[in-house]
């Protein structure tokens, strides 16, 4: 500030000196400067003007951007409000659809329950009607015994009443007919007829004849032969079901899949069958099998994927000796335990036996827990008087419900639905031809 004042004073002094010199020499006086000129020539003027302009422009831009920010905030708020309104509308629409779907599901469940109730009531009426008809025939037969003097004529008329049951397509009706033959003193006729047909429906009848000490030795021997034949019949029919699921054909022999299927779980799983094969002098492929046995006995994991070993097993499967061995193994491992369970439950149909065998194969001892659940649900078992057809259907439904999420669940569903389909066709003897339906839920 001091320097500015000194410079200003120096300018004034210089100007005064020049003026006096001009007066002395008579020169013209300088023109007087305007205020604007004096101010604009001042070195501080640009600084002051720049400061003023900076303030004005800054104020303008501040106002402009503040206004833009308010406009953007208002637009954003309006858009957010619009989104909330739309979101609420969508939520209401979804809730409405959910309630509609729930109502439809509940309505369908109600209709299904009504249909099941109607079907169950119809089956119950049919069962009661059949039971009443049987009782009527029994009462008639008893009355004939009281009024007919000739014993032979009496029995002929009595047995004629039950002949229609023996000829029936319903295995439970045939069982009733055979039992009536025995009840009225013709166990020999029943044993002969059942053994001749190899009818699985007469299995319990033959067992009762065999255990009856009052029957002659020849009749009991006939019953034993009949049971053996029935066991073969049951095995073949059950195997036909197993085969059609495994290979698509009902006439494939068990050995064709038994060896290779069980090899998956390790060579030792088929060690017993291979040892029995080596011990039979009539076996065709003894020499080819012998070099492999050491690896089989040590359960060598490499045999599972060995193409040469698998090819040998496939050859052996065509040998009748191996067929007999695998059938015997099948009886021991699956059929006989299933027959025992079926006997305990009072299951007499081949379809019922097949369902129990198949359950034991794929779900092990679960067959027994399923049976206990159904017995509690229906208040008993076929042996205690519950209709076997209803009981087996409930058993298969339980199997479906408890298939779970295991790797075999799809296979279990497929098998259970096959047996339910045969029950719906009233094919309780499991007579071919079979139709296996592949569905997405069954893995087909």
Q: What is the pLDDT of residues 274-323, one digit of tens each?
A: 999 999 999 999 999 999 999 999 988 888 889 999 999 989 988 999 98
CA angle 260, 262, 267 (to 5 degrees): 90
Task: Give CA–CA dist 9/2, Å, rounded.
Answer: 11
Q: What is the pLDDT of residues 161-191, one digit of tens each?
A: 777 888 888 888 888 888 888 887 778 888 8
Task: Give CA–CA dist 270/252, Å, rounded.
Answer: 19
Task: Give CA–CA dist 339/327, Å, rounded.
Answer: 15
Rounded mean pLDDT of 359-383? 87
Query: pLDDT grade, residue 99 (50/70/90)?
Result: confident
Identify the CA nearest to 238 among candidates 323, 339, 388.
Answer: 339
Identify the CA nearest to 207 among candidates 196, 190, 197.
Answer: 190
% the chain with pLDDT above 70: 79
Q: Do 416 and 225 contact (CB within 8 A), yes or no?
A: no
Rounded mean pLDDT of 51-76? 81
Query: pLDDT grade, residue 135 (50/70/90)?
Result: confident
Q: What is the pLDDT of residues 232-270, one digit of tens each?
A: 777 778 777 776 766 666 665 666 677 887 888 888 889
Predicted local confidence at residue 173, as pLDDT: 87
Q: Is residue 411 classed as helix, strand or coil in its secondary structure?
A: helix
Query: Is the per-residue pLDDT at 4 higher than 50?
Result: no
State both tokens at 210.
């065999």
Query: pLDDT grade, residue 115 (50/70/90)?
Result: confident
Predicted local confidence at residue 398, as pLDDT: 92
Q: Do 240 and 280 contact (CB within 8 A), yes or no?
A: no
Task: Give CA–CA dist 151/383, Å, rounded.
Answer: 33
Q: What is the pLDDT of residues 331-342, one digit of tens each?
A: 888 878 888 888
| CA 395 and chain centroid, separation | 16
Where do runs of H (alpha helix) occur along 148-186?
151-166, 171-183
Which of 120-129, 131-140, 364-373, 380-389 holds the top average pLDDT? 380-389
Other Cβ atoms closer than 10 A to 330: 20
Q: Is residue 257 classed as helix, strand or coil in its secondary structure?
A: helix
Task: Give CA–CA dist 242/12, Å, rounded.
Answer: 129
Rounded mean pLDDT of 340-359? 88
What letters, b where the CB count within 10 A reaches 16 and e where it falls short, cover 395-414?
A: bbebbeeebeeeeebbbbbb
Q: Do 422 and 343 contact (CB within 8 A), yes or no?
A: no
Q: Do 378 and 386 contact (CB within 8 A), yes or no?
A: yes
């Amino acid at each position: 500030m001091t320097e500015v004042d000194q410079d200003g004073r120096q300018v004034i002094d210089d100007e005064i000196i020049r003026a006096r010199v001009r007066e002395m020499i008579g020169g013209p006086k300088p023109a007087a400067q305007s205020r604007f000129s004096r101010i604009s020539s001042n070195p501080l003027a640009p600084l002051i003007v720049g400061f003023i302009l900076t303030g004005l422009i800054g104020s303008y831009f501040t106002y402009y951007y503040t206004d833009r920010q308010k406009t953007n905030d208002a637009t954003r708020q309006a858009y957010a409000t619009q989104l909330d309104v739309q979101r609420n509308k969508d939520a209401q629409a979804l809730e409405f659809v959910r309630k509609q779907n729930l109502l439809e599901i509940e309505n369908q469940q109600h209709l299904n329950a009504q249909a099941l109730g109607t079907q169950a009531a119809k089956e119950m009426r049919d069962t009661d009607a059949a039971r009443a008809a049987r009782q009527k025939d029994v009462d008639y037969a008893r009355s004939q015994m009281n009024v007919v003097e000739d014993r032979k004529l009496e029995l002929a008329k009595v047995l004629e009443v039950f002949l229609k049951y023996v000829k029936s397509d319903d295995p439970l009706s045939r069982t009733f007919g055979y039992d009536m033959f025995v009840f009225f003193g013709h166990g020999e006729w029943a044993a002969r007829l059942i053994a001749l047909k190899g009818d699985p429906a007469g299995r319990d009848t033959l067992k009762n004849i065999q255990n009856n000490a009052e029957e002659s030795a020849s009749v009991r021997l006939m019953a034993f032969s009949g049971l053996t034949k029935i066991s073969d019949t049951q095995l073949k029919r059950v195997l036909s079901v197993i085969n059609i699921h495994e290979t698509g054909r009902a006439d494939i022999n068990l050995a064709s899949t038994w060896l290779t299927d069980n090899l998956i779980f390790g060579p030792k799983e088929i060690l017993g069958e291979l040892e029995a094969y080596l011990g039979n002098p009539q076996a065709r492929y003894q020499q080819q099998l012998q070099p492999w046995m050491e690896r089989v006995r040590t359960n060598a994991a490499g045999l599972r994927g060995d193409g040469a070993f698998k090819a040998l097993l496939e050859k052996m499967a065509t040998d009748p000796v191996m067929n007999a061995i695998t059938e015997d193994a099948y009886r021991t491992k699956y059929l006989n335990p299933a027959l025992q369970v079926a006997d305990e439950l009072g299951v007499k149909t081949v379809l019922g036996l097949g369902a129990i065998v198949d359950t034991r194969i794929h779900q092990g001892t679960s067959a027994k827990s399923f049976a206990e659940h159904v017995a509690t649900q229906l208040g008993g078992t076929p042996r205690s008087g519950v209709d076997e057809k209803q009981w087996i259907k409930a058993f298969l439904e339980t199997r479906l419900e408890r298939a779970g999420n295991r790797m075999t669940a799809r296979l279990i569903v497929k098998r259970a639905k096959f047996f339910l389909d045969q029950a719906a066709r009233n094919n309780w003897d499991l007579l071919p031809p079979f139709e296996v339906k592949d569905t997405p839920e069954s893995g087909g």
